[in-house]
Structure 1
């Protein structure tokens, strides 16, 4: 059963009176509880594809089905490279925004907000403002806000790209721990091939002009994965050979 199905999706932008294709005939599905990574050169349409999936842009050809197609569409959560927290709100208030349209009683709402703050390890910073957080802490707060929507699918657009390598690895581990607890489907766009292979069950390799799928690489390695394992190194070489 698929959490997300993309069928023959193409997208073009108008430029100087002509249509410039950005995505061409994209086809893939994301399984329930699967982590799918998308890698590719700059300009291959990775972020554009996420915008289509989340519904920020409805001008495309093809079909995007969120959920199995027979029930209510799956809810989508989104995490960007920039945390996009409201600077005038505390961590607690930023996460609480996820419940703005919820009919939950106030007490239960507060409990849920605290649950997701605890989940990302920010219990001691619930009253802090974004300016008082490190980059990694702010990104964890953004992940908490996305998870508070209780999505079936979490989309992540270069979520750790602006962080240093040590912090990036730490947040990768935290993301996997959250995934283990919540068992949701994740689609992560990243320029980091090693990150993609470490996190994902499958890696889609895209190529540009227009953006299209070149290959889909299954990562049949048990978790927790060894970043320096020979198999992961071989898969990395395979990915890079297609990207360079």
Structure 2
């Protein structure tokens, strides 16, 4: 069953009275519990597409359909490259924001926040403020806040792009662990081809001017994947040849 269906989506911005196309005829689906990665050069509309999916921009042509259950709209969470935590709130306070519009009691909010903080391995830092966290810890807190919304689909826009390579690989593995436990569909935008192939079931390769899908690569490799394996290396070579 599909968690998300993108059909004939196009988007243009007006610049000096002239329509400048950003996305052209985008079509793909994301099945339940799948990870889909999007790669491509800057300016090919990857982040713009995420904004359309999450509902931050409704000015587009085509159709974006989230799967529904019992007539209730599927929830979509978002994680940005910069963690966007509120500096005056603790980790617990930031995660608890996900429950602001709920009927939960203060105690229930605290318990649920605690659950998601533990899920990302930050139990010892629940009372810490963002300034007291490393970059990787802050990003994990942002992921906890997004998961606390209990989304069916999680959108991630270059979530590890600002981290060093060792921490980046560590958080990739943590993300896979969280995904296995929560079984949430994930769409991740990245410039890192290796990251896309290591994480995703399918990699959408985009090209710019205007942004459109060049090819979709199916990554039919079992997890955990060998970062240095021949099969992954061959897929990387193919992906890079498309991007060149």
- TM-score, scaled relative to structure 1: 0.99
CA RMSD of aligned residues (A): 0.9
Distance 1:107 1:57 in 2: 35
Which residue in the other structure is 2:193 paired with? Answer: 193
Which residue in the other structure is 2:157 paired with? Answer: 157
Residue 27 of structure 1: SS of its match in structure 2? strand
1:234 pairs with 2:234: yes
Distance 1:111 1:70 in 2: 27
Distance 1:109 1:22 in 2: 40
Distance 1:208 1:108 in 2: 47
Superposed CA deviations along residues 193-237 of structure 1, whole A, max 9, x for unmatched, are 000000000000000000000000000000000001111000001
Distance 1:180 1:209 in 2: 36
**Which sections of structure 1, spanning at least 5 residues, go unmatched?**
none
Distance 1:77 1:187 in 2: 10
Which residue in the other structure is 2:14 paired with? Answer: 14
- TM-score, scaled relative to structure 2: 0.99
Superposed CA deviations along residues 103-145 of structure 1, whole A, max 9, x for unmatched, are 0122222110000000000001001000000000000000000
Distance 1:202 1:69 in 2: 25
Superposed CA deviations along residues 41-100 of structure 1, whole A, max 9, x for unmatched, are 000000000000000000000000011487322101000000000011110000010000
- Spell out structure 1 runs of 4+ moving beyond 6 A: none
Distance 2:69 2:48 in 1: 23
Residue 156 of structure 1: SS of its match in structure 2? strand
Distance 1:86 1:4 in 2: 30
Distance 1:232 1:73 in 2: 36
Which residue in the other structure is 2:107 paired with? Answer: 107
**Which sections of structure 2, spanning at least 5 residues, go unmatched?**
none
Asked whether the equivalents of residues 2 and 68 of structure 1 are also in contact (C-alpha less than 8 Å), the reply is no
Distance 1:17 1:179 in 2: 44
Superposed CA deviations along residues 142-191 of structure 1, whole A, max 9, x for unmatched, are 00000000000000000000000000000000000000000010000000
1:25 pairs with 2:25: yes
Which residue in the other structure is 2:124 paired with? Answer: 124
Tell me the matched-pair count: 244
Relative to structure 1, the CA distance from residue 15 to residue 216 in structure 2 (aligned partners, 3 Å threshold; closer, same or farther) is same
Which residue in the other structure is 1:35 paired with? Answer: 35
Which residue in the other structure is 1:80 paired with? Answer: 80
Shift of 1:34: 0.2
Distance 1:238 1:68 in 2: 36
